[in-house]
Structure 1
Amino acid sequence: MNRNRPWLTEGRRRSLTGWGFLLPAALLILVMSFIPMFQAFVLSMKTGRGTNLEFAEPLWSNYARLLSDEVFKLTLQNTFIYLIIQVPLMLILALVLANLLNDPHLRWKGFWRTAIFLPCAVSLVSYSLVFRTMFANDGFVNDALLGIGLIDGPINWLGQPETARFVIILGLLWRWTGYNMVFYLAALQNIDQSSIEAARMDGANAWQTFWHVTVPQLKPMILLTAIISTNGTLQLFDESWALTRGGPAYSTMSMSHYLYEVSFLKNPNFGYAAAISFVILVLVAVLAFVQMKVGDKRD
């Protein structure tokens, strides 16, 4: 078949076939992702209002401005508060729930799994309205706490920085714990049950079996969910916008929310907004790299 093309060996033919399938997707990624990223980087070195943009002098002026932008520093602080508190709590809770729901003797497993997973499929608008209503001054949470005598008067949950951050963290936990639980449930199906049975025969209790046998076998999935959750939290926008509008006084605003305000509200400044977006990109890349290095112990 290839007598006239001796250079086209079987291996080269398969390689060319593979590249032929990959090329359309690679071109789409180049056109839809990498070229816009390069254009955004060029835009981050420009200054001006609206479409009247010109290159800044010096070119790194927008990045230097970030160092003195108190609002950006506050949004950076807020984002890391969400990251440090919410992500570990969410992953631990998801892991515990997955282990409990993986019990073969548990009744109504399908119901419990669906009920815990459903929040991540709920509309953002619906869920934010419910949370804002629950945590209003005359909402269900205050009524319940007053009814059992834990507080003397209504708490302005969304009007104080600390409590407003708490509501956002609670919303994130409610919405995304079930999503991560599904990853762990899938990974638990592939665990060698003989290792768990051997640990029990050796006298290990439920906690020792879970910590020393189950968790080590879940490390690749834990690493994956940690990276996904970290990246999602660094790019957090929905809860900051829908639950608190970034208030009070920017105390709950995330970096992506601030990026949106700089881009489209007040006096749009696309060059400065592009610089903020690249800072977020660098943070995402650095933290993902660190997690890969720390979590991946394969030889």
Structure 2
Amino acid sequence: MSTQVTPVVSPDRHRDERPPSGRGFGSLGGRRSLTGWIFLLPAALLILVMNFWPMFQAFILSLQTGRGAQLSFAEPLWFNYERLLADQTFWMTLRTTLLYLVIQVPIMLAVALVLANILNNPRLRFKGMWRTAIFLPCAVSLVSYALVFRTMFATDGLVNDVLTGINLIDAPINWLGQTHTAQFVIIIGLLWRWTGYNMVFYLAGLQNIDHSTVEAAKVDGANAAKTFWYVTLPQLKPMILLTAIMSTNGTIQLFDESYNLTAGGPAYTSMSVSHYLYEVSFVQNPNFGYAAAISYVILVIVALLAAIQLKVGDKRD
């Protein structure tokens, strides 16, 4: 009768046969991580060269003074930033830009949200046509639409003809030659072009909302207004935050409307701060160092406003 002998395996052998722990570049996990970094490296280098390196050069440029290419480091180095504090034109254009931001952005986002809610109604007919018509202004060239608005709001333009024809005004209004009316035209132009763009974001967000939550609110007796306010709107919060940040950044960097619609007039009162930066850089005795300092102030303002919006909008537990 033979006896079967069971081999004894030492614990060390099992330890030696365990798969690699995944640490180090020699392991499977390490090789995968290295492969990922290799694929990311070209894009990271492009971002570094095309974005961050010019930003660093612009900061160095903001510490220099001179005209054209005849630049030298300022004494003191922060001279251009001190000059900003005494530049009344800069502060006026900054106040005008903030005025556009405070008035135009809330109205635009509110109207876009209402339009998205209307166009999300499954019983609405010709939804494709309405969506295309409202979004179409966003596809129009900035220069083209600015020139059309400039023609419409001219002294002998369509707007004055219509208002005179229905007896709302007795004489043509010089829309582009007065401070408040010129600012009003820019705000109207911004609303016309960008409302549909933001509406598309809200429409996409509405279509991703769980319909069962809306149905549950209706079963509980909530009317349409309460359902929208307490159920739909909270679920759109990330999209609202995104559009608010994008719209804020775009308005702070506003240039085309100021340049093409009113040319900054009258007397710089409708000019945006980015338009003023262009004037300093290429029109008024080009001073690239001072213009770079203005650009960094715009960067700081955009970053601060975005940080505030993220802090206020992000209420996750």
The interval holding the TM-score normalised by the smaller chain is over 0.9
Provide the residue aligned with 1:197 in structure 2: 215
Provide the residue aligned with 1:168 in structure 2: 186
Q: Does 1:215 align with 2:233?
A: yes
Of 231-240 and 12-21, deviating more is 12-21
Give the secondary structure class of the aligned counterpart of 1:191. coil
Q: Does 1:239 align with 2:254?
A: no
| Structure 1: runs of 5+ lacking an equivalent | none
Provide the residue aligned with 1:79 in structure 2: 97
2:25 touches 2:31 (CA, 8 Å); kept in 1? Answer: no
2:66 touches 2:72 (CA, 8 Å); kept in 1? Answer: yes
Provide the residue aligned with 2:224 in structure 1: 206
Give the secondary structure class of the aligned counterpart of 2:26. coil
Residue type of the alignment partner of 1:80: L
Q: Does 1:100 align with 2:118?
A: yes
List structure 1 runs of 4+ shifted beyond 6 angstroms: none
Of 276-285 and 13-22, deviating more is 13-22
Provide the residue aligned with 2:55 in structure 1: 37
Question: How far did residue 265 of structure 1 move?
Answer: 0.8
Question: How far did residue 266 of structure 1 move?
Answer: 2.4
Q: Does 1:16 align with 2:16?
A: no
Q: Deviations over 1:36-64 (max 9, x none)?
A: 11111000000000101000000000000
Give 1 or 2 for the bigger CA radius of gyration. Answer: 2
Q: Distance in 2 between matches of 1:129 and 1:294?
A: 38
Residue type of the alignment partner of 1:39: Q
Give the secondary structure class of the aligned counterpart of 2:185. helix
Q: Distance in 1 between matches of 2:31 and 2:184?
A: 58
Q: Deviations over 1:2-23 (max 9, x none)?
A: 9xx9852222122111111111
2:179 touches 2:269 (CA, 8 Å); kept in 1? Answer: yes
2:143 touches 2:256 (CA, 8 Å); kept in 1? Answer: no
TM-score (norm 1): 0.97
TM-score (norm 2): 0.91
Provide the residue aligned with 2:9 in structure 1: none
Provide the residue aligned with 1:272 in structure 2: 290
Question: How far did residue 91 of structure 1 move?
Answer: 0.4
| Structure 2: runs of 5+ lacking an equivalent | 1-19
Q: What number of residue pairs does the alignment pair up?
A: 297
| C-alpha RMSD of the superposition | 1.4
Q: 1:202 to 1:75 in 2, by over 3 A?
A: same
2:24 touches 2:30 (CA, 8 Å); kept in 1? Answer: no
Of 202-211 and 78-87, deviating more is 202-211
Give the secondary structure class of the aligned counterpart of 2:71. strand
Of 9-18 and 69-78, deviating more is 9-18
Q: Distance in 1 between matches of 2:136 and 2:86?
A: 42
